Amino acid sequence: MIKQKPDAFTFGPFRLDLQERVLLRKGKPVALTPKAFAVLLVLVQKSGRVVEKEELVNFVWPDSYVEEANIAQHIFKLRKVLGKNRLGEHYIKTVPRRGYCFLGLVRGSKDISGGRKFQSFHEAPEDPKKSEVNNDTRREVKSIAILPLANTSPHEHTEYLSEGITESIINSLSGLPELRVLARSSVSSYKGREVDPKQVGRELNVETILTGKVLQLNDHMVIRVELVDTSTGWQLWGEQYNRKLTDILELQKEISREVSEQLSLKLTGKTKAVLVQVRATT
């Protein structure tokens, strides 16, 4: 978390410059109205969580009455400008009857002594619920469900790879004595389904879930995963990996290791060794 307010946010090929109030794509300005910029800024600042429509209105139009169609029009324009990420997803997801959620991995930057310092950023510093979220994400999580990674590739054999990656992560994390990991048979029914983290948490009685998507691009694999707190529905962590197919086993280890760190587990040397010994299933 950035302690000072950032000067800019970056995601994919974009940079949202707060000082100049401009959106850049690979260094070139993108035309946005002031209100569209403000809408994007709110969503980016709160990346990974649902921004209720009322909350969005309070930030962008604090003293005005705004029809829902007006909000939808701004979202439509932003989606058109941003396009899709490498996984074929829009950066802004509509959550029916609630609001919108920004899906990109956001990094905030602060200009320090002439250089830029980058850190992961998911919540707005001025958010009134910040302290509550921080306390929640710092607690030790003792249960997790690794939901089947979705195959978004047209290649049939990628389905086997996504299943293998899912099972490998389950096997790896199951070796941690501090963590209760649901078996593959317990999560298999969620394959190919859009899920509500809170509902999954209630159904499976777990504190967190790991979801993800797999895309094959020629000899490369692009894997996007996110860790979600089932009590709040908020994203605790997200990452996108781009690796060669030949590096798939090493990638499984990397994902398992990072998930464990994000769960704030106090790993012993013995536990860390367990993570390295990933059992390949592909």
What is the 3 state secondary structure string of 100-116? EEECCCCEEEEEECCEE
Q: Which two tokens stand for residue 66?
A: 């705004």
For the ranges 91-95, 172-176, 214-218, 255-259, the lowest mean pLDDT is seen at 255-259
Q: Cα–Cα–Cα angle for 68, 60, 104, nearest 5°?
A: 85
Q: CB neighbours (10 Å) of residue 145?
A: 26
For the ranges 65-79, 125-139, 153-167, the lowest mean pLDDT is seen at 125-139
Average pLDDT over residues 40-55: 87
In order of 11, 29, 169, 259, the CA distances from 25 in angstroms are 10, 6, 35, 30
The percentage of residues in the chain with a pLDDT greater than 70, rounded to a whole number, is 75
Q: What is the pLDDT of residue 39?
A: 92
CATH code reported for the domain at 8-128: 1.10.10.10
Q: 45 — phi, psi (to 5°)?
A: -60, -30
Res 158 pLDDT > 60: yes
Question: Is residue 269 very low, low, confident or very high in pLDDT (cuts 50, 70, 90)?
Answer: very low
Report which of 211, 221, 217 is spatially closest to residue 248, judged by C-alpha positions.
Answer: 221
| Distance between first and last Cα of the chain | 36
User: 144: which DSSP letter?
Assistant: E
Q: What is the pLDDT of residue 3?
A: 46
Say how many CA atoms lie within 13 Å of 81 toward its Cβ. 19
Q: What is the pLDDT of residue 78?
A: 93
Average pLDDT over residues 70-91: 85
Q: What is the pLDDT of residue 165?
A: 80
Query: Could you give the 3-state DSSP secondary structure of residue 27?
Result: coil
Q: What is the pLDDT of residue 127?
A: 38
Tell me the CATH architecture of domain 136-276. Answer: 3-Layer(aba) Sandwich (3.40)
- Total-model pTM: 0.47
Q: Which residue spans of the chain are classified as CATH 1.10.10.10?
A: 8-128
Average pLDDT over residues 32-51: 88
Q: Which residue spans of the chain are classified as CATH 3.40.50.10610?
A: 136-276
Question: Is residue 245 very low, low, confident or very high in pLDDT (cuts 50, 70, 90)?
Answer: confident
Contact at 8 Å (CB) between 108 and 124?
A: no
